[in-house]
Chain A
Amino acid sequence: MSGWRGLLLTLVLAAVGSLPAAAESLGDESRGAVLFNRECSVCHRIGPDAENRIGPRLTGLFGRRAGAVPGFEYSKSMARMGNDGLTWTLETLEAYVENPKALISGTRMNYRGLKDAAARADLLAFLRLHSDRPQNIPEAEPTARKTDPDLDAAVLAIKGDRDYGEYLSAECTTCHQRDGTDQGIPSITRWPEEDFVVAMHAYKQRLRPHPVMQMMASRLSNDEIAALAAFFADQD
């Protein structure tokens, strides 16, 4: 059975061609365990009896709504994303572990992110072991999993046209307040350019859940996102 599946998978991958090797098998669980101890265990516990510490318990993480562990005090940003419908899947966890701020701008998780794709795959494989039904993850064919949401360095390097950004920003300030007030709708001023860019691309790629933001981001080109970032970076 598994042999057949493996063969089919190979065929599918050969047909698609461009998928990274990491999609085929998630990663190495034992290397993931070592990584967990090194990178995560200062704040997080995992396992049947794990409790919340500085961070929430990570048992049963897959399929869980963001910000949903009872008794844990989440950041406003994390709670908002959970309400908007962010659920932890391979795709969203990978984006979050790679760069937490790409997914949750105001997360309290003080972690720089795990940039190495193979290491992320190992860590996710370990986290998956502690989920309710590890064998069901991913639920769809591996080909359904998006490729790494990594942004090309060239996209991050675009120098934004600030004047164009100012014009485009008028679309943002219909809802987001210019003075940075955070009332029902988050503040978007004084935002480091790179964080802004990755956040907007996370909406554009529909990793972040909010429908209005997904719609607004979907028609912004790379240059336009850079232009907005250049404008908002110096707004206070």
Chain B
Amino acid sequence: MTLTRRSFIGTGLATGALLQAPMVGAQGRPRVVVIGGGAGGATMARYLAKDSEGGLDITLVEANPIYTTCFFSNLYLGGFRDFESLQHGYSRLSDMGITVITDTATAVDRAARSVTLAGGQSLIYDRLVLAPGIDFREGSVPGWSLSDQDIMPHAYKAGPQTLLLKAQIEAMPQGGVFAMIAPPNPYRCPPGPYERISMVAHLLKQSNPTAKILLIDPKEKFSKQALFEEGWQTHYPGMIERIGPDFGGASAEVRPATMEVVVDGEAMKVDCCNVIPGQVAGRIAALAGVTDDSGWAPVMPETMASRVDDTVWVLGDASAQGDMPKSGFSANAQAKVAANALRGQLLGSRIFPARYSNTCWSLIAPDDGVKVGASYEPTPEKIASVESFVSQTGEDAALRKATYEESLGWYAGITADIFG
């Protein structure tokens, strides 16, 4: 009830405030508070700081002092990267004049334009940017709740969960069973679960070749399906079994206490179980009252400003924007459009047309990389796909190797673009 009333007041104030632009904060500079230091939030903070040259007072709030990217974390599971190579600090953002606070936002009062942090601090903003990524939908997988994550890890927010999942895979007995409960749409990184299956298969093929992989999937189809299935056939024949919705994949239950998975009424003992539940926007978006019934935060396709309150902007996975997949690449692209528009709004700088694009690379086996991508443009309703491409089945080894090497270059490029 309070949220409804607040959001009503907030919208009213926002409309009034637009008439008084440019905004001036207490120290004479407009204040931008960014919640979340991943591909969306850190890129936003960095581009705002870089291009406004001191014209904005920018604060970045992130729970972790060192950020671990979820993208490429599957390559750590497969043994292709060190865990450390996924980790990035914020010192270069601090050096640019951004105030980086290691804390978690627990409340947003849009009427007062303030954010409360778990540590007790309160931040006043002229513009608030929410880039909190995902949280898990309660009850999405029967039998599993977040308190079971140490037994059945999700490893879908990179960090300790990623390390735990890898340790559990390595501890599997010879000939054991690895199970994954794949998530329903929409979720972060559409090819992610299937790249993970590939990486687990690669790892097991070397250390535990008689092990089995059970992929329990609520979806009829999945991203790059033909490419993954071809690759699994080639590299891991007989190792991977997928149970789709026709065979109970959409109603699976787990029993963490006994390490069981129940599909179609039949309980199976497994040795490692990766539960990737259904997802919603990171919790702070709902607490701020900018999400809708879908659990995601609808945004304006031109700018990524919230449809509920145009002093609040939502980036990346948490946003409901249309056709772009929830990916680090998308979040980074959205942040650069948003930074240009937000800067123009606050400082009167030139606002250029929105440009969005995305490419997702996946590794199936050593030197066997594939990719899918698209370009997008804003329409009044949504961010709409314009043109797309996807790797083809039967491509030669040299192209697949080049695609993998390209993905390494992309990781280096995008992390430099995000973290400086």
Instruction: Give residues in A with beta carbon < 8 Å to B.
Output: 80, 82-85, 163-164, 167-168, 170-171, 173-179, 181-185, 211-212, 214-216, 218-219
Give B359's nearest chain A residue, CB to CB: A212
Contact present for A164 and B410 (CB under 8 Å): no
Q: How far is the CB of A175 from chain B (nearest CB, A)?
A: 5
A84-B399, A178-B416, A215-B389 known; A171+B407 contact, CB < 8 A: no
Task: Please give, as numbers and ranges, the residues of chain B lying within 8 Å of A83 by CB-CB distance.
Answer: 398-399, 401-402
Q: A167-B350, A173-B416, A175-B406 are in contact. List 17 more A-B contacts (CB 8 A).
A: A171-B336, A173-B417, A174-B357, A174-B410, A174-B417, A175-B409, A175-B414, A184-B409, A185-B406, A185-B409, A185-B410, A185-B413, A211-B389, A212-B371, A215-B387, A215-B389, A219-B387
Contact present for B414 and A167 (CB under 8 Å): no
Interface residues of B in 352-397 (CB under 8 A from A): 352, 355, 357, 359, 371, 373-375, 377, 386-389
Q: How far is the CB of B102 from chain A (nearest CB, A)?
A: 26
Query: In the bound complex, how far is the Cα of B355 from the Cα of A130, in angstroms?
Result: 46
Q: How far is the CB of B217 from chain A (nearest CB, A)?
A: 27
Task: Please give, as numbers and ranges, the residues of chain B lying within 8 Å of A178 by CB-CB distance.
Answer: 416-417
Contact present for A164 and B413 (CB under 8 Å): no
Contact present for A177 and B375 (CB under 8 Å): no
Which 6 interchain pairs have the tightest Cβ spacing?
A184-B409, A185-B409, A184-B405, A83-B402, A211-B389, A170-B336
Give B328's nearest chain A residue, CB to CB: A174
Chain B residue total in the interface (Cβ 8 A) = 35
Contact present for A177 and B47 (CB under 8 Å): no
Contact present for A177 and B413 (CB under 8 Å): yes
* Inter-chain contact total with CB atoms closer than 8 Å: 88
Query: In the bound complex, how far is the Cα of B361 from the Cα of A185, in angstroms?
Result: 13
Query: In the bound complex, how far is the Cα of B404 from the Cα of A232, in angstroms?
Result: 26
Contact present for B357 and A216 (CB under 8 Å): yes
Contact present for A80 and B416 (CB under 8 Å): no
Task: Please give, as numbers and ranges, the residues of chain B lying within 8 Å of A183 by CB-CB distance.
Answer: 408-409, 412
Task: Please give, as numbers and ranges, the residues of chain B lying within 8 Å of A163 by CB-CB distance.
Answer: 350
Q: Does B340 contact A (CB under 8 A)?
A: yes
A sample of 19 cross-chain residue pairs with beta-carbon separation below 8 angstroms, ordered by A number, consists of A83-B401, A84-B399, A163-B350, A164-B352, A168-B355, A171-B333, A174-B413, A174-B417, A175-B406, A182-B409, A183-B409, A184-B405, A184-B412, A212-B359, A214-B389, A215-B357, A215-B373, A215-B387, A216-B357
Q: Does B178 contact A (CB under 8 A)?
A: no
Task: Please give, as numbers and ranges, the residues of chain B lying within 8 Å of A173 by CB-CB distance.
Answer: 413, 416-417
Query: In the bound complex, how far is the Cα of B354 from the Cα of A171, in angstroms?
Result: 11
Query: In the bound complex, how far is the Cα of B408 from the Cα of A183, in angstroms?
Result: 7
Query: In the bound complex, how far is the Cα of B415 from the Cα of A179, in angstroms?
Result: 13
Query: In the bound complex, how far is the Cα of B373 from the Cα of A215, in angstroms?
Result: 9
Contact present for B352 and A184 (CB under 8 Å): no
Task: Please give, as numbers and ranges, the residues of chain A lying within 8 Å of B47 by CB-CB distance.
Answer: 170
Contact present for B340 and A212 (CB under 8 Å): no
Contact of B408 among A85, A167, A184 (CB under 8 A): A184
Q: Does B329 contact A (CB under 8 A)?
A: yes
Q: Does B332 contact A (CB under 8 A)?
A: yes
Q: How far is the CB of A50 from chain B (nearest CB, A)?
A: 25
The listed residue with most B CB atoms (<10 A of its CB), out of A174, A184, A211, A212, is A174
Query: In the bound complex, how far is the Cα of B351 from the Cα of A164, in angstroms?
Result: 9
Q: How far is the CB of A206 from chain B (nearest CB, A)?
A: 12
Give B418's nearest chain A residue, CB to CB: A174
Give B39's nearest chain A residue, CB to CB: A174
Q: How far is the CB of B179 from chain A (nearest CB, A)?
A: 34
Contact present for A177 and B412 (CB under 8 Å): yes
Query: In the bound complex, how far is the Cα of B370 from the Cα of A211, in angstroms?
Result: 12
Query: In the bound complex, how far is the Cα of B397 from the Cα of A82, in angstroms?
Result: 12
Task: Please give, as numbers and ranges, the residues of chain B lying within 8 Å of A218 by CB-CB distance.
Answer: 375, 387
